[in-house]
Amino acid sequence: NDALPICHGVFSPKFGALIHVPRLGDLYANVSRGFRSTDGVIEDPTLPFIIEWAYETGVHLDLDRVSASAALFQVDVSNEQTFDPVTLTSTSGGRSRRQGVEFSLNAPLGEYARVNGSWTFTNATYLDQVNGDGVNIANTRVANTARYVGSAAIDLGKTSAPWSVRLSGNVVGPYTPFDELNTELPAYALVHVTGRWLVGGRTTLRLGVRNLFDTVYPELSAGGFVSPGQPRSVYGGASYVM
């Protein structure tokens, strides 16, 4: 075999800057270029890398017992590869852009409670992408990318108390399933609760319920197939410190 080996080279710079503001927090900005190999390079070594330019700027506040952050971001991807989780096949080529804003908060609510959460809002569209049917789907939403995702939790109980309760939840916004251009699944929210009790100073008991309200939601949806999410589930556990 006289075929020459195929080699690829990628320039992947990363730049960042941070300004610290005393008694307030930090301002930052960064730019980076990353890459990964395209799926299927074993069968076709000539496939190019998937290239990503990422830009982010934001602020992180740290005020006494409260911390919060907010950031703007944009991610440009070239040689976009979309994976179909049902048929286990992928479509390569094209470009996409994801841009949005994200927030986070961690703060006390009096002496016996604390709240924390994070939210991300994303506008993700194909700039140039030909699907498996040979149709250019530019200016449509990137498949399986929700418009927003978020989580929040409230912890009840002092750190030194023998008990604590956590009420938490997560939200997934509308998104377009893979290979279903004219479909947008509705948003859904799940609620969970967990309790902890310290017995005798050494034994910790835990009891929790996931999907407290038994919400029906799709764990995965693609190409007309739907895999249902986890129904209401009760779990527990115990640990002992020697």
Instruction: Find where tokens 């140039």 sit.
Output: 128
**Of all residues in the chain, what percent carry a pLDDT higher than 70?**
88
1, pLDDT greater than 50: no
Question: How far is CA 184 from its chain centroid?
Answer: 19
Kindly report the number of other CB atoms within 10 A of residue 44's CB atom: 10
Of 6-20, 22-36, 177-191, least confident by mean pLDDT is 6-20
Mean pLDDT of 94-100: 92
Question: Are 227 and 219 a contacting pair, CB within 8 Å?
Answer: yes
Mean pLDDT of 213-233: 90
4, pLDDT greater than 80: no
pLDDT at 71: 98
- pLDDT, one tens digit per residue, over 73-85 is 999 998 877 666 5
231, pLDDT greater than 90: yes
Instruction: Find where tokens 């835990």 sit.
Output: 206
68, pLDDT greater than 80: yes
Instruction: Find where tokens 């998937």 sit.
Output: 50
User: Over the Cα atoms of the chain, what is R_g?
Assistant: 23
Q: How many residues does the chain have?
A: 242
Mean pLDDT of 138-154: 93
Mean pLDDT of 11-39: 90
pLDDT at 21: 92
Mean pLDDT of 151-174: 93
Question: What residues contact residue 64 under an 8 Å CB cut-off, 6+ apart?
Answer: none
Q: What is the DSSP string of 177-196?
A: PBT-TT--BPPEEEEEEEEE
234, pLDDT greater than 80: yes
Q: What is the chain's mean pLDDT, rounded?
A: 87
Mean pLDDT of 29-42: 80
pLDDT at 131: 72
Of 77-81, 141-145, 184-188, least confident by mean pLDDT is 77-81
pLDDT at 154: 97
